[in-house]
């Protein structure tokens, strides 16, 4: 039984498409598209050389055209906030009392303890909830939550 038949190529394509679900990067999907091209070539009765050429060409075309579009769409979405931008809007808990004159203290936010500055002159005590308004260098600018 010869491997280079259309149903083996189609089966390999289906397996690669299913495996793509579990492996990020869209590389296996490009190989699956190559298998579909080779399956078509085998279905047309072309020889092994043409099937391998079709597999290579279709895989490369998918790798250089479809994959960049999908990578940009899925992994570099504009609404994904990272680094300090992800802190803005998060809530934190005061870990060191704020001095009302200086408005400085410490806040635990996003699993880290930060130097913080309060927007108001209100006295904040350990355990009070605050919201991060912005980040200025290594200092969180916060506002108190609640009454």
Asked: is 83-144 a CATH 3.30.930.10 domain? The reply is: no
pLDDT digits (tens, 9 = 90+) for 85-136: 778 889 999 999 988 788 899 999 888 899 999 988 888 899 999 999 999 8
Task: Report how far residue 72's alpha carbon sits from residue 20's, in angstroms, rounded to the nearest whole number.
Answer: 17
Band of residue 1 on the pLDDT scale cut at 50, 70, 90: very low
Q: What is the pTM of this model?
A: 0.52
Task: Give the residue extent of every domain in the chain.
Answer: 6-75, 83-144
Low-confidence winner among 40-44, 81-85, 104-108 (lowest mean pLDDT): 81-85
Which of 136, 131, 140 minimizes the C-alpha distance to 92?
131
């Amino acid at each position: 039984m010869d491997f280079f038949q259309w149903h083996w190529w189609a089966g390999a394509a289906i397996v690669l498409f299913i495996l793509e679900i579990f492996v990020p990067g869209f590389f296996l999907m490009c190989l699956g598209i190559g298998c579909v091209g080779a399956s078509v070539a085998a279905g047309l009765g072309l020889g092994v050389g043409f099937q391998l050429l079709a597999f290579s060409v279709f895989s490369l075309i998918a790798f250089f055209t479809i994959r960049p579009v999908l990578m940009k769409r899925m992994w570099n979405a504009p609404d994904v906030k990272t680094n300090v931008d992800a802190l803005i809007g998060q809530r934190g808990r005061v870990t060191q009392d704020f001095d009302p004159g200086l408005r400085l203290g410490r806040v635990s936010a996003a699993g880290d303890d930060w130097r913080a500055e309060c927007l108001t002159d209100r006295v904040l005590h350990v355990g009070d909830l605050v919201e991060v308004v912005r980040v200025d260098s290594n200092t969180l600018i916060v506002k108190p939550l609640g009454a």
